[in-house]
Amino acid sequence: MRGLWLEAMRLAFRDDLAGPPLADGEGVVRVHLAGICGTDLELRRGYHAFTGVPGHEFVGIVEEAPSAPEWIGRRVVGEINAACGTCATCRAGRRTHCPARTVLGIRGRAGAFAERLALPLLNLHEVPAAVSDEEAVFTEPLAAALQIQAQVPLRADQRVLVLGAGRLGTLVARTLARTGAQVRVAARLAPRRDQLRAAGVDAVAPEEVLAGSADVVVDCTGHPEGFARARAAVRARGTIVLKSTYAGEAPVNLSSVVVDEITLVGSRCGAFAPALELLAARAVPVRDLVQARYPLARGTDAFAEAARPGA
Amino acid sequence: MRGLWLEAMRLAFRDDLAGPPLADGEGVVRVHLAGICGTDLELRRGYHAFTGVPGHEFVGIVEEAPSAPEWIGRRVVGEINAACGTCATCRAGRRTHCPARTVLGIRGRAGAFAERLALPLLNLHEVPAAVSDEEAVFTEPLAAALQIQAQVPLRADQRVLVLGAGRLGTLVARTLARTGAQVRVAARLAPRRDQLRAAGVDAVAPEEVLAGSADVVVDCTGHPEGFARARAAVRARGTIVLKSTYAGEAPVNLSSVVVDEITLVGSRCGAFAPALELLAARAVPVRDLVQARYPLARGTDAFAEAARPGA
């Protein structure tokens, strides 16, 4: 089949890929659309070793489902962590952290930038008819944004600062605004700030953020410098939510985290059902986040455009 | 007056110190006993710049209290953060994080390794008659240990690992055990492990700790390596409580904190009232944690003994 192939930090289009292997309880999905995420760009930069088809945000149609043929023909999105289901972590209800898990397009499982992918049927969610393909492809990042609220209780009197106005930062700001909290976005680029303000979101340049001015800071910058900025912006006893994954380590003054009693919360994937509900209710707009569409054969061009600052 | 003086990472006994300055609403305390804390040792190593009398754990008798003479003669311990009381942080109820605060023996305020110290009367707590001086001097570290429970909800089915079996680690283990959680201490030295086991505490060598085996890890090692050990020991979606302050930064793989959705909680000082209640009820033993007693004139020897591994 045709698809993108990542190997040793090089991405290429190929037309000689084997179809995805199908394990018990899994289904094959023909991909309609797939989205490029910051994690995909970081994977290509060597964030961690992955050889294979990248991509983990998709919408498509189930083509094969040997164990449950009723799935065939359904339009679906899919949770990306494929867990063993039997280990202590899975039994404790933390399936997305199963140590033996594969992760679509990230770890041990061919991903969505190909004609077909395979996932456990347990991971699939049928897309409501009211949700278009272009919207459905945002289910995974929207779920990741919603995960913040599942981890950190937010009140209306809290000042939340979102660092980074890329796709994830925008989705985080839009979902957090629904909690009633006072959400502000720090965006490097002036046109991005103008866009945010036009949409009613409070936006500032990073250098305008006052030290200690936020109760909660969410780092969606995708860069190690994001942490230092978050640390400066959060008040004593405040919370920093970490959403970015990137290669390498950041130097952290842990003693200052102790002295100021800061809480850091790592936050990754979220549940799909609430995200699909928001999309079906048109409660969080996503279509304006599509910058461009490329056919699969021009996937490397799409990566180049996505990696451009301000994309 | 006589006291210890820290300047440029050198500690010396002096008999020519000025008495502590007394501001409005403050009282002067004649110090009976003072304890050496890991933070004192780190201050001497240059953890942060402080010139003056160190020491922040004490018990003594109020000698002067111009604004409220009824305090004179009372035996007291004192909370160490002296806040302005009027800034936004103080008004929000986070007085221990007041940006203008002084901290006894740590920041802008002469400390307890001297004949007398001064603190706001608001900071003082009268010591119940049932609590001896030797016990009362543990109020501050016991309060710091209890602060963990004020920040992190603990359940009886949780596996809590305490890294470090120094004084703070021991107090943390003893107070956490009262929550019903399954507490285990990782201690480097075999005699320390034997002591812990004799007291009914589950103790292991650090290398015996299995990766991902703890729901909550409390780092009381006082060393930057403590974080790496905590990170290895905590399970996905677990919590690391940071209790140690030391000089310098630690390299942290923040992406792995995101992927494993770890929560890091910086934890510092706690409220004195619950600590005094525990001491009065003899609910947490502390007297066995006194390794030696030195007169003030031999304070530098006391620091040398406290800095010895295993002390």
Return the pLDDT at A310: 72
Return the pLDDT at B26: 98
Task: Write down the mean pLDDT value for chain B.
Answer: 94
Distance, in Å, from the CA atom of A152 to the CA atom of A172, rounded to the nearest integer, reads 13
Q: Do B259 and A268 touch (CB under 8 A)?
A: yes
Q: Do B263 and A265 touch (CB under 8 A)?
A: yes
What CATH number corresponds to the domain at position A52?
3.90.180.10
What single-letter DSSP state applies at residue B122?
G
A131 and A34 part of one domain: yes
Helix (H) / strand (E) containing B201: none
* Higher per-residue pLDDT: B181 or B38: B181
In a domain, A271, yes or no: no
Please state the rounded mean pLDDT for residues B261-290. Answer: 95
- Chain A residues touching residue B260 (CB < 8 angstroms): 97, 266
In a domain, B55, yes or no: yes
Return the pLDDT at B200: 86
pLDDT at B47 over 80: no
- Chain A residues touching residue B268 (CB < 8 angstroms): 258-259, 261
B134 and B8 part of one domain: yes
Among A231, A281, A279, residue whose Cα is nearest residue A257: A231
Q: A148 with B261: CB under 8 angstroms?
A: no
What CATH number corresponds to the domain at position A218?
3.40.50.720
Calculate how close chain A gets to B158, using CA atoms only, in Å.
Answer: 12
A131 and A33 part of one domain: yes
- Chain B residues touching residue A99 (CB < 8 angstroms): 212, 236
- Chain A residues touching residue B251 (CB < 8 angstroms): 249-252
B124 and B248 part of one domain: no
A131 and A181 part of one domain: no
Helix (H) / strand (E) containing B311: none
* Nearest residue on chain A to B228, alpha-carbon basis: A254
In a domain, B119, yes or no: yes
- Chain B residues touching residue A47 (CB < 8 angstroms): 255
Among B261, B211, B213, residue whose Cα is nearest residue B237: B261
Distance, in Å, from the CA atom of B144 to the CA atom of B103, rounded to the nearest integer, reads 15
Q: Do B212 and A250 touch (CB under 8 A)?
A: no
Q: B229 with B169: CB under 8 angstroms?
A: no
B181 and B60 part of one domain: no
B56 and B163 part of one domain: no
Residues B71-91: pLDDT tens digits? 999 999 999 999 999 999 999
Residues B196-239: pLDDT tens digits? 898 889 999 999 999 999 999 999 998 888 999 999 999 999 99
∠ CA(B92), CA(B93), CA(B98), 5° rounding? 85
Distance, in Å, from the CA atom of A21 to the CA atom of A1, rounded to the nearest integer, reads 12
In a domain, B72, yes or no: yes
Facing residue for A263 by CB, picked from B245, B252, B265 = B265
Facing residue for A259 by CB, picked from B245, B257, B263 = B245
B218 and B193 part of one domain: yes
Calculate how close chain A gets to B222, using CA atoms only, in Å.
Answer: 10
Best of A155, A255, A257 to substitute, by most chain B Cβ atoms within 10 angstroms, is A255
In a domain, A206, yes or no: yes
* Nearest residue on chain B to A228, alpha-carbon basis: B254
A17 and A117 part of one domain: yes
Q: A257 with A234: CB under 8 angstroms?
A: no
State in Å, rounded, how far the first CA of chain A is from the last one: 29
Facing residue for B258 by CB, picked from A249, A258, A267 = A267
Q: How many domains does chain B have?
A: 2
A119 and A159 part of one domain: no
Distance, in Å, from the CA atom of A100 to the CA atom of A86, rounded to the nearest integer, reads 10
Return the pLDDT at A224: 84
Q: Do B89 and A263 touch (CB under 8 A)?
A: no
Calculate how close chain B gets to A1, using CA atoms only, in Å.
Answer: 31
- Chain B residues touching residue A89 (CB < 8 angstroms): 235-236
Calculate how close chain B gets to A99, using CA atoms only, in Å.
Answer: 9
* Nearest residue on chain A to B255, alpha-carbon basis: A245
pLDDT at B35 over 90: yes
Best of A159, A257, A260, A269 to substitute, by most chain B Cβ atoms within 10 angstroms, is A257
Residues B109-145: pLDDT tens digits? 999 999 999 999 999 999 999 999 999 999 999 999 9
How many CB atoms are closer than 10 A to CB B12? 11
Query: Which whole-number Å values give the CA distances from B224 to A1, A6, A252, B40, in the listed order?
Result: 50, 37, 10, 16
Best of B242, B246, B258 to substitute, by most chain A Cβ atoms within 10 angstroms, is B258
Interface of chain B toward chain A, CB-CB under 8 angstroms: 47, 89, 94, 97, 99, 151, 212, 224, 227, 235-237, 242-255, 257-268
Distance, in Å, from the CA atom of A240 to the CA atom of A237, rounded to the nearest integer, reads 10
Return the pLDDT at B308: 87
Q: Which two tokens stand for residue A54?
A: 């990248």
Calculate how close chain A gets to B207, using CA atoms only, in Å.
Answer: 21
Residues of chain A with pLDDT under 50: none
Distance, in Å, from the CA atom of B191 to the CA atom of A304, rounded to the nearest integer, reads 60
Phi, psi of B81 (to 5 degrees): -95, 120
* Nearest residue on chain A to B103, alpha-carbon basis: A259
pLDDT at B36 over 90: yes
Q: Do B89 and A236 touch (CB under 8 A)?
A: yes
Return the pLDDT at B222: 85
Q: A231 with B238: CB under 8 angstroms?
A: no
Query: Which whole-number Å values give the CA distances from A126 to A82, A272, B86, in the listed order?
Result: 17, 10, 56
In a domain, A97, yes or no: yes
In a domain, A311, yes or no: no
Q: What is the extent of the structural domain holding B129?
A: 3-138+286-306
B201 and B299 part of one domain: no
Q: Do B265 and A260 touch (CB under 8 A)?
A: no
In a domain, A280, yes or no: no
B131 and B149 part of one domain: no
Q: Do B94 and A244 touch (CB under 8 A)?
A: no
Q: Do B257 and A247 touch (CB under 8 A)?
A: no
* Residues forming a β-bridge with A120: A26
Return the pLDDT at B224: 84
How many CB atoms are closer than 10 A to CB A309? 7
